[in-house]
Chain A
Amino acid sequence: MKIIACIKQVPDSEAKVKVEGGKISWGDSPLVINPFDEYAVEGALLQREANAGSTVTALCVGGESAKDALKHALAMGADEAILVSDSALENLDTVGAAKVLAAAIQKIGDVDMVIFGRQTLDNGAGLTPAQTARVLGWGMLGLAGQIQVKERSVQVERVIEEGRQTVKANLPVVISVVQSIGEPRYPSFMGIRKASKAVIPIWSLSDLGITAPVAIITRNELINPPVRETVVEMITGESPAEIAEKLADKILAEKVL
């Protein structure tokens, strides 16, 4: 199987993200592979291991710096990495990203399975996997916690609000994965060495034979969340029972029960 893991680069989850001068700032925090996408890479590697003769390509749309996120995927064990980067891709919404990814997937050719993380930490919309499937005209298996391939048929365990479903589709297919796919492996020493030497090809929009998608969604304003002035009231007492009694009265007085 030819497997693609789609990844994005985002500010680290520990970052204190703020609006400064109308722009988003994350201070000194590093840019990292989107944590949800590490599960996509893990899912792809597990499928490569389960299906002899498979390869994993990590694919990313982003600036030059996003090569570092691709190197992380290579260090985890991906066979190759491709960066789609173009100055015309500054304002990309999710439909636009799906169109660019779909064009790259078609250029790679003969792809059987495309795996995404469930969402990104920055925009957090979680729309791109289904939109990429729609643009490609492929089936979509969303929120998979487990993937099993038998010949040209794929079965996943889908995790939804109400429980788990078993869902089947035929290859080629787009899959988004959730955490229960398995903890992402740590990059190995050999993997890191290989990644550091890897030459990552950069594809421009003209390489893909498309023009920049027109952004449909426009961001007009960024807002820091309102700071809530809460003053904590500490509840003390001689015994747990006394503390519990006082705390229960406070909670009841808030009329939230």
Chain B
Amino acid sequence: MKTFVYIDHFNGEVQPASWEALGLAKTFGATIALVFGANANDVVKTALEYGADEVIVADDSTLKDYRAEMYASTLSALASSLSPNLILFPTTARTRELSAMSAVDLNTGVFTDVTGLEVNGNNVTATRPIYEGKLFEKVTCAGKPVMATIRGRAFPKPNREAGKNGTITKVEAKGEAKSTVEGYSASESAVNLGDASIIVSGGRGVSNNPALTPPAGLDEKQAEVWRAQQGFALVTELAKVLGGAVGASRAAVDAGYIPYSHQVGQTGKVVAPDLYIANGISGAIQHLVGMRNAKVIVAINKDVDAPIFKAARYGVVGDLFAILPALTDVLKKKLGK
């Protein structure tokens, strides 16, 4: 079976699930990686090293900034002329739009957030979460090519073979842009929960440290947020020591403790890290569906009846403001950091 894999990058920084998609495609046969955008030579080289048989490059200067319309037209033209059976993408902000538009052009369908993919001859069945992971569905697509955006960390990352070569084919951009990118600012704290192998999270409980005295002049709400920010500083400290990302419950986000980009669970990110440490999170159903597929879950909470303990492998009932910094210290020493 012939598969296209769209390598999603931003100024040359590749979204890691692109390589996982490449590894998955290899298990089905011939794999052609697609790299769009200017100055993507390194991305092309890396795609070959991760196992692409061929790379098709559209590095027209008009593709320098991602604009969904042109990217989709370029992809649709390639799919029409080369007739792949399947097009895989990592699931990102860009690929949702790009695959969505191409599917309209090609009169086919897209499966998003795919966690399982079975191929039987040329028939593709995808497994994907619905209702934010409360259920899964198995779906098939009558159109061709079948398009699927895969969830980060759902498929293994392939091995990289340094210096591996392959065919590189250059093609032109197609279509017309309908927007211009005027500026960019990097996020203060890069949050990519979907790709994180370790997540340290905080909930409403991080604002309850009685030992803290907020600075004078804050009203009640400001004082609460100030307390929570001190709590999240402890969460962040442990995340740093472990090389992990900082997550949060919806309650913490809604209370204004931390930006939405950190939210785990329904209406936020669904994650599956190797280690998830929940601090002061009670474990509402919406949060649990977002993180219960973590390999090891650790919960620290003062309430012994908190539902989070039902999902956890290890639990501590106690004062997180004492235990969390102690845990950070011990792990720092044991990991030699």
Question: Interface of A with B (CB < 8 Å)?
Answer: 11, 13-14, 16-19, 24, 35-36, 93-95, 98, 121-131, 133-135, 138-143, 155, 159-170, 178-180, 215-225, 228, 230, 232-236, 240-241, 243-245, 247-248, 250-252, 254, 256-257
If the complex has contacts A13-B286, A139-B178, are A241 and B326 also in contact, measured as CB distance less than 8 A? Answer: yes
Select A235's contact among B180, B266, B292, B314, beta carbons within 8 Å: B314
Known: A13-B286, A256-B198. A234 touches B317 (CB 8 A): yes
- Chain B residues within CB distance 8 Å of chain A: 10, 13, 15, 68-69, 72, 92-94, 96-97, 99-101, 103-105, 107-113, 125, 127, 129-143, 178-187, 190, 192, 197-198, 242, 260-261, 266-267, 274-275, 285-286, 289, 292, 295-299, 309-319, 322-323, 326-327, 329-331, 334-335
CB-contact partner of A124 in B112, B142, B292, under 8 A: B112
Assess the B93–A143 pair: CB atoms within 8 A: yes
In the bound complex, do residue A221 and residue B138 qualify as a contact, i.e. CB atoms below 8 Å apart? Answer: yes
- Given B141, B181, B295, which contacts A166 in the complex, CB threshold below 8 Å? B181
Evaluate whether A256 and B314 lie within 8 angstroms (CB atoms) in the complex, with A138-B178, A139-B69, A219-B138 already known.
Answer: no
Q: Is the CB of A130 within 8 A of B130?
A: no
* Contacting pair B184 A219 (CB below 8 A): no
On whether the beta carbons of B319 and A232 are closer than 8 Å, the reply is: no
Contact yes or no, A240 B322, CB < 8 A: yes
Min CB gap B293→A, angstroms: 8
CA distance A94 to B99 in the complex (A): 12
- Closest Cβ of chain A: how far from B87's Cβ, in Å? 14
Q: Which residues of B lie under 8 Å from residue A180 when comparing CB positions?
A: 260
Q: Contact at B96–A134, with CB atoms within 8 Å?
A: no
Q: Is the CB of B93 within 8 A of A257?
A: no
Closest residue of B by beta carbon distance from A217 = B109
Shortest C-beta distance, A214 to chain B (Å), equals 8
Q: Are A223 and B136 in contact (CB under 8 A)?
A: yes
Complex contacts, A224 vs chain B, CB 8 Å: 135-136
| Chain B, interface SS category | mixed
Q: How far is the CA of A166 from the CA of B266 in the complex (A)?
A: 28
Other 15 A-B pairs with CB < 8 A, given A130-B96, A241-B326: A36-B267, A95-B104, A131-B100, A160-B94, A161-B92, A169-B179, A216-B141, A217-B111, A218-B139, A233-B313, A233-B314, A241-B330, A247-B298, A248-B331, A251-B275
Q: Can you give 23 A-B contacts (C-beta < 8 A)?
A: A13-B132, A13-B267, A95-B109, A129-B100, A134-B69, A138-B178, A140-B179, A155-B182, A160-B94, A162-B13, A163-B185, A217-B109, A218-B139, A219-B139, A221-B138, A222-B138, A223-B135, A225-B292, A230-B313, A240-B323, A241-B326, A244-B323, A257-B331
Q: How far apart sit A129 and B312, CA to CA, in the bound complex (Å)?
A: 37
**Judging by beta carbons under 8 Å apart, are B326 and A165 in contact?**
no
**Residue of chain B at shortest CB distance from A241:** B326
Taking a contact as CB atoms under 8 Å apart, the answer to whether B326 and A243 are in contact is yes
Chain B contacts of A128 at CB under 8 A?
100
* Alpha-carbon distance A167/B127, docked complex (angstroms): 34
Q: Collect the chain B residues with CB atoms within 8 Å of residue A240's CB.
A: 318-319, 322-323, 326
Asked if residues A256 and B97 are in contact (CB atoms below 8 Å), the reply is no
Does B104 lie within 8 Å of A131, measured CB to CB? Answer: yes
Known A-B contacts A130-B97, A232-B314, A247-B327; A121 and B132 likewise in contact (beta carbons under 8 Å):
yes
> Does the CB pair A140–B97 fall under 8 Å?
yes
Question: Which B residues lie within 8 Å of A143 (CB)?
Answer: 93
Structural contact, B142 and A228, CB atoms closer than 8 A: no
Complex CA gap A13/B134 in Å reads: 10
CB-CB nearest 5 A-B residue pairs: A139-B178, A244-B326, A130-B100, A240-B322, A166-B183
A242 to chain B, nearest CB (A): 9
Q: Which residue of A lies closest to B308 (CB)?
A: A232
A130 to chain B, nearest CB (A): 4
A218 neighbours in B (Cβ, 8 Å): 139-142
Who on chain A is nearest to B142 by CB? A216
Are B100 and A17 in contact, with the CB atoms below 8 A? no
Question: Is B101 a contact of A133 with CB atoms below 8 Å?
Answer: yes
Taking a contact as CB atoms under 8 Å apart, the answer to whether B97 and A142 are in contact is yes
B190: shortest Cβ distance to chain A, in Å? 8
CB-based contact A166/B182 at 8 Å: yes
Contact residues in A for B69 (Cβ distance below 8 Å): 134, 139-140
- Chain A residues with CB under 8 Å of B316's CB are 234-236, 243, 247
Contact of A256 among B68, B274, B309, B327 (CB under 8 A): B274
Taking a contact as CB atoms under 8 Å apart, the answer to whether A35 and B318 are in contact is no
B310 near A95 with CB under 8 A, answer: no
